[in-house]
Structure 1
Amino acid sequence: MVTGTAAAPAAMTPLEQELARLAGSVPDPELPVLTLEELGVLRGVHLESPGKVTVQLTPTYTGCPAIEAMTADIEQVLHENGIPDVSVVRVLSPAWSTDDISAEGRRKLAEFGIAPPRPHTAEGPVALPLSVRCPHCGSTDTELLSRFSSTACKALRRCVACREPFDHFKEL
């Protein structure tokens, strides 16, 4: 896998759009409720020549262990759909942020019981939330149990109102 920066987006052909749809439909290995498209890590799909495709993928953070599984899953789905030569390259710039998660992805996280990150609306540093809404009962009376949960991108919290534990996808 090659590491690089994203090139300026070019118009995609109908075949590239279909291949992007296929690659984007791959579930995230750590959060299978989300697709790679909803997570916002798929940066581009380019048909280099007949049967040869390059997919650009940005990890959620530089050391993300799920990137290898994402790569293998993208290669598999494109091989199954007739593309024999698939190259997945890591694109580190621009860096991924939680703002890249789609509205549908945020909805699915909440529905799955994970408090989604809040969108970052202004330039500059990401503001730290003073409260996190419980995805079970909606209360903002929650407490941090651990800065890290099942993955480094989530924190473990508990709702004081309903006493249910839940993951919070941290803002980046």
Structure 2
Amino acid sequence: MVISKENIYKALEQVMDPEIPVLNVLDLGMITAVELDGETVHVKMIPTFAACPAVDIIRRNIRTVLEKELNTPVTVEIDKTAHWSSNRMTDAARQKLLDFGIAAPQVHNGEAYSEILLQTPCPHCGSDNTYLRSPFGSTLCRAIHYCKDCGQVFEHFKPLE
């Protein structure tokens, strides 16, 4: 395969988040730069949460997939000049989360975090009649909610500014 930015981004579509396997690193807005230096591909990324335990796995998966697809050396580094925000997620990512049964983070513009966290629609029935059961979910980036209308417990990908 020819090494081009287009082919690099195409290959990055295959790098899935290990904690939410329906989302790739592009869906999540984790890639901040892709550069070609001769035959070497350099990728800069940002984790979704500062203490995300999956960062090393994601870096390794990016390198593995790109090296396999492009047959060229790849470096992956954390971009320390950028910070991830849930607003970086694509609309497709938000829909994939809902289809997976996780409430997507609301797009926000500086609103109070607690208000956003409390007003989370149910991904199963769409009801706003929900409440926060725990700000701590199965991973650092999720909270647990309960829907009073359909009786489902669901996770919510936390908004982050």
Structure 1-normalised TM-score? 0.85
Task: Give 2:14's aligned residue.
Answer: 25
TM-fit CA distance, 1:125: 5.3
SS across alignment from 2:4:
helix
Give 5+ residue unaligned stretches, structure 1: 1-13
- 1:17 deviation in Å? 2.1
Distance verdict in 2 for CA 1:125–1:168, change over 3 Å = same
| Counterpart check, 1:111 vs 2:99 | yes
Contact 2:5 2:34 in 1 (8 A): yes
Q: Note the C-alpha offset of 1:83.
A: 3.3
Which of 66, 69, 72 aligns to 2:54? It is: 66
Q: 2:27 aligns with which of 35, 38, 48?
A: 38
For residues 68 and 99 of structure 2, what CA distance do their matches in structure 1 show?
31
Matched, 1:15 2:41: no
Structure 2: tracts of 5 or more residues without a match: none
Q: Which amino acid aligns with 2:158?
A: K
The code of the aligned residue for 2:124 comes to: H
Counting aligned pairs with the same residue, the percent is 37
Q: Distance in 2 between matches of 1:60 and 1:92?
A: 13
For 1:1-172, list aligned pairs within 5 A: 15-50=4-39, 52-120=40-108, 122=109, 124=110, 126-127=112-113, 128-129=115-116, 130-172=118-160
| 2:36 maps to amino acid | L
User: What's the Cα RMSD here?
Assistant: 1.8
Letter in 2 for 1:107: Q
Cα distance in 2 for residues equivalent to 1:153 and 1:26: 19
Post-superposition CA distance 1:120-169 (Å, at most 9, x none): 2x3x4554324210011111111212111111110011111111110011
